[in-house]
C-alpha cells in the first residue's frame, strides 16, 4: 500500500507515518503536489565480503588466536625472521 501526504501533514502525523513505514508501507511526502521524499522500512545490511576480493587487506584474526601459544615451528619461523633484531640477537657483542 502507498500513501502520499503533504509536508504539513507529515509534520503533524510523523510518529504515525513512521510506524506505518516500519510495518512495510511506503509513504511519499510531497510539496506542491510534487514528490520530494519517501518513508519506507530500512532493509538490514547483510552484505558479506570474500577476502580474495579485497587484496592487500589482512584477514581478520580472532583475539584468542593472538593469545594462543606458538607452536615450536611457528617460534622457529618467527626467530629466523628476526635474526637482525638487536634485541633478539644471541651473538656476543663484545
Q: Of 42, 38, 44, which is closest to residue 2 (Cα–Cα)?
A: 38
Residue 35 main-chain phi, psi, to 5 deg: -60, 130
pTM of the entire predicted model: 0.46
Q: Return the CATH fold of 2-39.
A: YefM-like fold (3.40.1620)
Residue 67: pLDDT over 60: yes
> What would the grid cell of residue 74 be?
611457528
| CA gap 71, 56 in Å, rounded | 26
Residue 89: pLDDT over 90: no
Which pLDDT score is estimated for 72? 86
20 to 64, 72, 80: CA distances (angstroms) = 45, 62, 64
Amino acid at each position: 500500500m502507498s500513501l502520499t501526504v503533504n509536508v504539513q501533514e507529515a509534520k503533524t502525523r510523523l510518529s504515525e507515518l513512521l510506524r506505518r513505514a516500519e510495518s512495510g508501507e511506503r509513504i511519499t511526502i510531497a510539496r506542491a503536489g510534487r514528490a520530494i521524499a519517501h518513508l519506507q522500512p530500512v532493509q538490514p545490511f547483510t552484505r558479506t565480503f570474500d577476502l580474495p576480493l579485497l587484496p592487500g587487506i589482512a584477514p581478520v584474526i580472532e583475539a584468542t588466536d593472538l593469545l594462543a601459544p606458538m607452536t615450536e615451528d611457528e617460534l622457529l619461523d618467527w626467530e629466523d625472521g628476526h635474526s637482525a633484531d638487536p634485541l633478539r640477537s644471541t651473538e656476543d657483542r663484545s
